[in-house]
Structure 1
Amino acid sequence: MEELRDERVDLEVISSELVYQGAVWNVRSDTVRYGDSEMTRQYVAHPGAAAVVAIDDDERVVLIQQYRHPIKERDWEIPAGLLDVAGEPPLETAKRELTEEVDLAAERWQHLVSMHTTPGGNDEVVHIFLARGLSHVESDYEREHEESDMRVERLPLADVIDGVLAGRLRNGILATGALAAAEVLRREAAAV
């Protein structure tokens, strides 16, 4: 079998309309030709995002906890933000978000994974990066709303993985990023 990978499919779009225009993302309704029939699907059109697994020299992960209204919880996450600056590459967004959310910069950056968060309901792609060589930086970014009372903690990567596997940490971007970072660190250690 050849290398396993997702496949792009370009269907004939019969109609596409903006159903709702929001402050961050929109809802679209597309009717496409699929085989011999037509189907209509609604989805959230999302600008995408970048996220950061920031690991310090003691292999602790920088986590933030903030309120998320759709799930009515303060969940643990990794620093992340929307690709909302025109033309800004995902890595630059990740660097900006690390500074804005937790007042950190990193010397070394590595792309971990890019993932579709909910492909049945939106077109969001999140690019997750590993950041190492952390240092404190001053930021004049004003944290509002959910970010105004964000909690920041550094936890051992192994504890984060345990929390994900036990179902205590359910944020998908955190889970994917932590598991990918653990595997990268495992492979690096094995190569030595």
Structure 2
Amino acid sequence: MTIKDAAEEWEIRGTETPFRGKKTSVRTDEVVMPDGSVARRDYQVHPGSVAVLALDEEDRVLVLRQYRHPVRQKLWEIPAGLLDVPGENPLHAAQRELFEEAHVKAGDWRVLADVYTTPGGCDEAVRIFLARDLAEAEGERFEVEHEEADMELARVPVAELVRGVLAGELHNNCLVVGALSLVAARNGEGLDALRPALAPWPARPFEV
């Protein structure tokens, strides 16, 4: 038995969109179940996201502390952002987010992990990149607003992030998945064996 997710789509008898927001919406589908019954499923429609685990030469990860209103907490996170343009190349989006949120560029990019954040209630897909060979970016810093205006930046050792995850002190999904995937990759075939930055991403197809 191969343990691998597979594409499949059950019949939809009807659909409606009771809410449309600026970036996301809520959809209700009437889905035909295997026993022939029809069930209503509500979920958030999301454009997708990218996140960047930026690792420096001292084995520290660049993290941000940002207020997240839905959970009423300030969370430590890795740089991340929406795929604002349909079909946008996720690598380009990740490079943009690293520049805008940390004013940093990277010389080496790999795919660390692809995840669905909450597949029971949202179709958001996130590609988490590993960025190495970091340097200060050229040009003016990006002008931030809203929650990002209060953002803090830090560089934290990988071991400290893993400790915080396992202690229940760090909760951002991209940070958790990114930090643990980094350790798993190191303990496996190594970071240079990770997928290339432009590896196919069926959940969010893009143009190279």
Say whether the fold is shared (TM-score over 0.5): yes
Decide whether the 8 Å contact of 1:55 with 1:61 is kept in 2: yes
| SS of alignment partner, residue 148 of structure 1 | helix
Q: Tell me the amino acid that sits aligned with residue 18 of structure 1.
A: T
| SS of alignment partner, residue 128 of structure 1 | strand
Aligned partner of 1:10 in structure 2 is 9
Decide whether the 8 Å contact of 1:29 with 1:41 is kept in 2: yes
Aligned partner of 1:62 in structure 2 is 62
Q: Distance in 1 between matches of 2:161 and 2:140?
A: 27
Decide whether the 8 Å contact of 1:44 with 1:122 is kept in 2: yes
TM-score, scaled relative to structure 2? 0.87
- Identity percentage of aligned residues: 45
Q: Distance in 2 between matches of 1:61 and 1:127?
A: 17
RMSD of Structure 2 on Structure 1 (CA): 1.4
TM-score, scaled relative to structure 1? 0.94
Q: Distance in 2 between matches of 1:186 and 1:6?
A: 23
Return structure 1 stretches of 4+ with deviation > 4 angstroms: none
Q: Distance in 2 between matches of 1:42 and 1:139?
A: 43
Q: Deviations over 1:77-103 (max 9, x none)?
A: 000000002332111111110001000
Measure how far apart 1:152 and its partner are: 0.3
User: Alignment length, in residue pairs?
Assistant: 189
Q: How does 1:84-163 map to 2 (within 5 A)?
A: 84-137=84-137, 138-163=139-164
- Which consecutive unaligned segments of at least 5 residues does structure 2 have? 194-208
- Which consecutive unaligned segments of at least 5 residues does structure 1 have? none
Q: Distance in 2 between matches of 1:86 and 1:34?
A: 30
| SS of alignment partner, residue 170 of structure 1 | coil
Q: How does 1:161-172 map to 2 (within 5 A)?
A: 161-172=162-173
Decide whether the 8 Å contact of 2:103 with 2:141 is kept in 1: no
| SS of alignment partner, residue 29 of structure 2 | strand
Measure how far apart 1:181 and its partner are: 1.3
Measure how far apart 1:10 and its partner are: 1.2
Decide whether the 8 Å contact of 2:12 with 2:30 is kept in 1: yes
Measure how far apart 1:44 and its partner are: 0.3
